[in-house]
Structure 1
Amino acid sequence: MFTGIIEAIGTVRRLEPRGGDLRLTVATGKLDLRDVKLGDSIATNGVCLTVVEQGSDYYVADVSGETVRRSTLASFRVGQRVNLEKALTPTTRLGGHLVSGHVDGIGEVISMQPDARSIRYRVKAPDELAKYIAEKGSITTDGISLTVNAIDGAIFDLNIVPHTVGETNIADWAPGVRLNLEVDILARYLERLLLGDRAAQSQAASAGGITLSFLAENGYGHG
């Protein structure tokens, strides 16, 4: 688990395709690796990766085909800056929100404009994720815990203060840039919980998920 508070900006050092999978080497910048050992997790642009090899200023991770397909890792390039965070410990301050490092979908920056000293970004999420994104709720964007300032359908606004820009790779964002999105973990589990016995059915049998009629049938209607 992670907090979404970025500890360092790393740089992609090497990409090695391996029969549908990928081996990734990341130079870690100011990230302190003294307490990192083989098998530990490091969130890389929001993707939880397992360290399989390391040096004093880098780590290596194997990336499965599933992770490549579900994230922006397929478009990584050598020299690209990436957000890094080590897995939290029992003594870590939870400054952001609980983040699993499991990407739910890929969003795209559609606009950016100054807002006083901040920058307001508009991001388009996949339609199927829109129901999990709430105004003033939390969302993880390239590993960064951020607050949703406004939402319109599947498009949400982020107001980024100068400190966050300086401590992350947000300075590299521009219209057209694709971002790893992870919705609030509580929203995903709440939907599954509300399905009750229907959760055991196949996706085809339970198509439609949570609807107004489903809620009414299960006692969640107006009193």
Structure 2
Amino acid sequence: MFTGIIEEKGTICERESTSLRIKANEILLGTRTGDSVAVNGVCLTVVDLNRDSLKAEVIHETLRLTNLGGLNIGDKVNLERALSFSDRLGGHLVSGHIDGKGRIIKKRREGNALLFSFSLPEELTRYIIKKGSVAVDGISLTVTDVQRNSFSVSIIPHTLSQTILEEKSVGYEANIEVDVIGKYVEKLMASKEKGLSSNFLLEQGFL
């Protein structure tokens, strides 16, 4: 699990068919082979480390379903180490399993913040609520508005300086992870219609 608080921006320095090598600094501290890191919000496993970079495995399905498939050498990415039990939860619980990609359809300045609007299928916006949380390229953000096929977030200067979104323009596709709590609530509500049983709870992963 992650918090959606980006620790640093890394740089893609090597790309192979099923792996990415990322130049980084802060997230290398305490990281070991086998650990999980979030790259643009995608949970990946570290398979190699040296003093200034890490290598993470990426399966073809992940490359297809997320924006990692479009990364090139020199591109910047958001990085976060996995949450430990002693960490403070500054954002919200982020699993690192991307639900879909949202395209920037509007970007404008509001005071000292930037407002971004993203298009997203209704099958995902149903889990997004105003003033709720959503992860955009791994960044925990508060929703300012939600429509049938879009949602908006306002990003403060500090968050912009620590992440890659400020440099992105209309048309960019970001990785979106909706709040997992909404999915659990939907499953539990559905259980009322078919009857809550130990078998149902087992099927849905609650037992």
Match of 1:33 among 28, 36, 61: 28
SS across alignment from 1:188: helix
8 Å CA contact 2:27–2:81 kept in 1: the answer is no
Match of 1:100 among 82, 86, 95: 95
Higher-Rg structure is: 1
1:25-61: per-residue Cα shift (whole Å, max 9, x none)?
1111x32423111110000000000000111111111
CA distance in 2: counterparts of 1:90 and 1:152, whole angstroms: 36
Letter in 2 for 1:191: E
Letter in 2 for 1:12: I
Match of 2:151 among 145, 151, 156: 156
SS across alignment from 1:97: coil
Match of 2:128 among 133, 137, 145: 133
8 Å CA contact 1:138–1:148 kept in 2: the answer is yes
CA distance in 1: counterparts of 2:184 and 2:88, whole angstroms: 24
SS across alignment from 2:73: coil
CA distance in 1: counterparts of 2:181 and 2:161, whole angstroms: 29
CA distance in 1: counterparts of 2:27 and 2:4, whole angstroms: 17
1:105 deviates by: 0.4
Asked whether 1:44 is paired with 2:44, we answer no
> What is the TM-score with the length of structure 2 in the denominator?
0.90
| Structure 1 ranges of 4+ moved more than 2 A | 197-201
Q: Over aligned residues, Cα RMSD in angstroms?
A: 1.6
Asked whether 1:90 is paired with 2:89, we answer no
1:170 deviates by: 1.4
Show the counterpart of 2:204. none
Show the counterpart of 1:74. 69
1:180-220: per-residue Cα shift (whole Å, max 9, x none)?
0000010111112222248989xxxxxxxxxxxxxxxxxxx
Letter in 1 for 2:114: I
> What is the TM-score with the length of structure 1 in the denominator?
0.84
CA distance in 2: counterparts of 1:136 and 1:31, whole angstroms: 31
**What number of residue pairs does the alignment pair up?**
196
CA distance in 2: counterparts of 1:81 and 1:121, whole angstroms: 19
Q: 1:115 to 1:142 in 2, by over 3 A?
A: same
Letter in 1 for 2:43: C
CA distance in 1: counterparts of 2:63 and 2:177, whole angstroms: 15
Unmatched runs of 5 consecutive residues or more in structure 1: 202-223
